[in-house]
Amino acid sequence: MNIPVQQLPSGGYGYGFSDIKVSPMSFLQITQYLEGLPEDDKLEKYLYEINNLISEDKRILDCYLMDVDFLIFFKKLITISGDSTVVVKIPCPKCGKIVDKKISLDHDIHFRQIDQSVMEGSFIELGGNKYETIVPTVKSFFKVFEKYLKYRKIEDLDIIKTIALVKDFDIKGNQIEDDILGATHGDITLIKALQELYTNRLEPVEVICPNCGTNEETGERSGFMVDVTSLTMDFFRDIRINCPIDGTKIVFKQARQG
């Protein structure tokens, strides 16, 4: 299926094409995906997820990383369910109960609106050095990511994504890295603000636990917030839950008499 770029977290600002192709994975594709998934290596896993999207549409390379983070989640969601709602199982952080939460793409998934001026980039000062920020596409992120995939100096994906926000990594990579890793006080606030602006555009979803979600005195309901993109999806289990078969799909042969 084709997603209009206006419906992506970036709002499609600056794209040279109008839609991007993302389809549900077939049985064979899920099987192959699970076989190849590098479970224990967060960086390799992220590369694998992006390459999974690129295999369907090469223009993913020109998409903003913030959009691709959403598309990784979106592809899983449409693989699991045919009607853009999906039931996921989330442990309650208070009592540990596994809560079933129905997530609807139309009602629960919201992006924080992005301002066009934000998409133009900005000037910042970090560690006493002046920098320009960019909104990284997959292509420009890969230039930064390759270095960390190879040398493993940093294995935290959020930090690598933050480093990719600063222009001229190819020229001043070490200095940028030092200024981000060594940031103190106000510089930390600045880095956090940049992360807020350019990554994680998806609003968290509220989940209410049936055990401890209701305050007994006031009757008030309060839940906990989850970042839906971080939810682990177990494809075959989740497909079974979300797409149950009815009695017409399998008709058993009658046992022969006598």
95 touching Zn ion, by CB under 5 A: yes
94 touching Zn ion, by CB under 5 A: yes
Count of C-beta atoms within a 10 Å radius of residue 126: 21
Residue 185 CA to residue 182 CA, distance in Å, equals: 10
Distances (CA, A) of 23 to 46, 54, 174: 19, 12, 39
- Binding to Zn ion (CB under 5 A) within 193-212 occurs at 209, 211-212
Nearer to Zn ion, 136 or 213 (CB): 213
Shortest distance, position 172 Cβ to Zn ion, whole Å:
48
- Binding to Zn ion (CB under 5 A) within 98-157 occurs at none
Segment contacting Zn ion (CB under 5 A): 62-70, 71-79, 92-100, 184-192? 92-100
Shortest distance, position 234 Cβ to Zn ion, whole Å:
21
215 touching Zn ion, by CB under 5 A: no
Shortest distance, position 252 Cβ to Zn ion, whole Å:
41
Residue 129 CA to residue 176 CA, distance in Å, equals: 9
Cα torsion at 242, 248, 253, 255 (round to 10°)?
90
Q: Which two tokens stand for residue 56?
A: 């369907």
Residues lying near Zn ion in the complex (CB under 5 A): 92, 94-95, 97, 209, 211-212
